[in-house]
Amino acid sequence: MLDTKFQILVNMVTLDDVKNNPQILEFINQTEEAMEALSYTNHGLRHSNIVAQRAMEIAKNIGLNNREAELAAMAGFCHDMGNFLTRTFHHFFGAQLFGQVFMGKFDPKELAMIMQAISNHDKDEMNFVHAVSAVLVLADKSDVDRSRVAKQSLEETKADIHDRVNYATTESDIKVEKGKKRITLKLKIDTKFCPVMEYFEIFTERMVFCRKAAQFLGYDFGLVINDFELL
């Protein structure tokens, strides 16, 4: 359970507080512009909201309490906002930015959990120590979808493998089966636009990270593409 002794000293920060914070929103807006300039897929509000929602759902479905689920969603909303400073170390800078904005407003343990989750979400440098970090990895890496592609033409989209794979993915859903202790990512990929093999060319490392996250939570990780179970 989270330490609640500081809740009498500070007002509990909610997910809505984070989503409506003008500094956070500007960091995400600047990140979206920076990623578009680099010709990356969407890392702005669209991705932030989807990852926050998935983190909340995964957390609740595996049995975390409401506050832990909310913390996971906060981390999900803010996880990529450091990209406007640096792509290579965006996870680290995003965690620092979150700490600067909310220092003194959170229970210190909650703040540390969110900062660590943001810092750990993109680099398998540390072992998981709490469920919020593991949930964020699953929520983030499962967001593969046509709507993330920012290119204006199909010709431009076809020229980049990340864009091709995202554009070819017409459905993406992550499902928790608590009884079977299994978390499954289900995708529909238009193989007329790109072969399934291209998905593995760019996402194998991420799927290994997802398996590690699921295992920390006490679950197996599965991957189903076009109704074929691959993991």
**pTM (2 decimals)?**
0.93
Q: Rounded mean pLDDT of the chain?
A: 93
More confident residue, 211 or 1: 211
For residue 125, the model assigns a pLDDT of: 81
Catalogue the E-assigned strands of the chain: 169-177, 182-189, 220-225, 228-229
114: confidence class by pLDDT, cuts 50, 70, 90: very high
Sign of the Cα torsion 45, 46, 50, 55 reads: negative
152: confidence class by pLDDT, cuts 50, 70, 90: confident
Q: How far from the centroid of its chain's Cα atoms is residue 107's Cα?
A: 23
* Per-residue pLDDT reduced to its tens digit, 43-89: 999 999 999 999 999 999 999 999 999 999 999 999 999 999 999 99
Does pLDDT of 6 surpass 60? no
3-state secondary structure of 211: helix
Does pLDDT of 7 surpass 90? no
Quick check: 221 and 210 in contact, CB under 8 A? Answer: yes
* CA distances for 17 relative to 22, 110, 124, 126, 166, angstroms: 10, 15, 29, 29, 31
What proportions of the chain, in percent to the nearest 5, are helix, strand and coil?
A: 60, 10, 30
Judged on CB neighbours under 10 Å (0-12, 13-18, 19+), 185 is buried
Which domains does the chain show, CATH number per domain? 5-229 (1.10.3210.10)
* Per-residue pLDDT reduced to its tens digit, 130-146: 999 999 999 999 999 99
CA dihedral 183, 188, 194, 196 (to 10 degrees): 40
Query: Which run of H or of E encompasses 118?
Result: helix 108-120
Closest to 174 (Cα-Cα) out of 119, 202, 134: 134
Q: b/e string for 195-204 if b means 16 or more Cβ within 10 A?
A: eeebbeeebe
